[in-house]
Amino acid sequence: MSFFKNKTVLITGASSGIGAELARQLYAQEANIFLLARRSDRLEDLAKELNPRGERVGWMQVDVTKPNQLEEAVRSCIGLFGSIDVVIANAGFGVAGNVSQLKTDDYRRQFETNVFGVLNTVYATEQALEKSKGQLVLLGSVAGFVPLPGNSAYTMSKFSVRALAKALQYEWREKGISVTHLAPGFVDSDIRKTDNLGNLKEDHPDPIPNWIRVPTPVAVKEMIKAITKRSPERVITGHGKIIQGFNQYFPKLIPWIVASVGLRARPEPK
């Protein structure tokens, strides 16, 4: 029997990329899926793809920076399925640019979604997860371990998500809620096609070469294994594990590589 059979999974940032693929694979494992994101057209399309009759699928247009919208979504999800067993806080984007090129408003915008949006999700779902003795999953990044040039805003936000996950693992243990932090490396998604305002530029080429990007279904399959095992933390993708390992055990190596290859900020999608 599937670990997820008859469980209700709420996913933020579910309209594309990792969030949408999580919905597909978890639905295939007989979970009830409740989809949240800003792009309602994509949510509707995904819901119809999963089940044209709407069975075991619900969705709502939500901006995670708006706590009242998340609270309404939680009420709707519980009204539809009766409970929430797993919450996956996946919504996020990346601000690109060197520190001297960015303004404090860029950092605030990055944190509003990637950090405060996660906190809003935590607060909105805490009671439901305590009641179900469920699981909170926070989507971080290998960037939460390894800072690189031109990536300070995104890296700072993912360091924060990782710290939040660690704190919640202590604090929510007595509530019976398990917390899993997932840290993927380079996965096929829209994040590198999104500008510093959070707007998708679909025609923008992905600056990460194909040979290092991991197909989304492959990465998500590994994520689901970690969720099933209630792992406290899992670095996703082989190259992600290598980068994190080098950073932990050979701390001088990555700075040497960065200096040797002259790594620069990825361009903001236009």
Report percent pLDDT > 90 for the chain. 71
Domain boundaries, the chain: 8-261
User: Can you identify the CATH homologous superfamily of domain 8-261?
Assistant: NAD(P)-binding Rossmann-like Domain (3.40.50.720)
Statement: residue 20 has pLDDT above 60: yes
Q: Are 94 and 194 in contact (CB under 8 A)?
A: yes
- Residues 6+ positions from 12 with CB-CB distance below 8 Å: 19, 36, 37, 62, 64, 88, 89, 90, 91, 117, 121
Instruction: Name the phi and psi angles at 145, rounded to 5.
Output: -110, -35
Residues annotated as part of the active site: 154
Question: pLDDT of 120-160, one tens digit each?
Answer: 999 999 999 999 999 999 999 999 999 888 899 999 999 99
- Residues 6+ positions from 54 with CB-CB distance below 8 Å: 47
Question: pLDDT of 47-64, one tens digit each?
Answer: 999 999 889 999 999 999
Q: Which tokens is 46 given?
A: 């995904």
Question: pLDDT of 229-251, one tens digit each?
Answer: 999 999 998 888 888 888 888 88
What pLDDT does residue 246 have?
82
Question: pLDDT of 195-240, one tens digit each?
Answer: 666 666 566 555 565 666 788 999 999 999 999 999 999 999 888 8
E strand intervals along the chain: 8-11, 32-37, 57-61, 86-89, 135-139, 178-184, 233-236
Distances (CA, A) of 211 to 21, 54, 146, 148, 207: 21, 37, 21, 20, 12
Give 240: exposed, middle or buried? Use CB within 10 Å, 0-12, 13-18, 19+.
buried
What pLDDT does residue 91 have?
96
> Which residue in this structure is represented by tokens 């009830």?
32
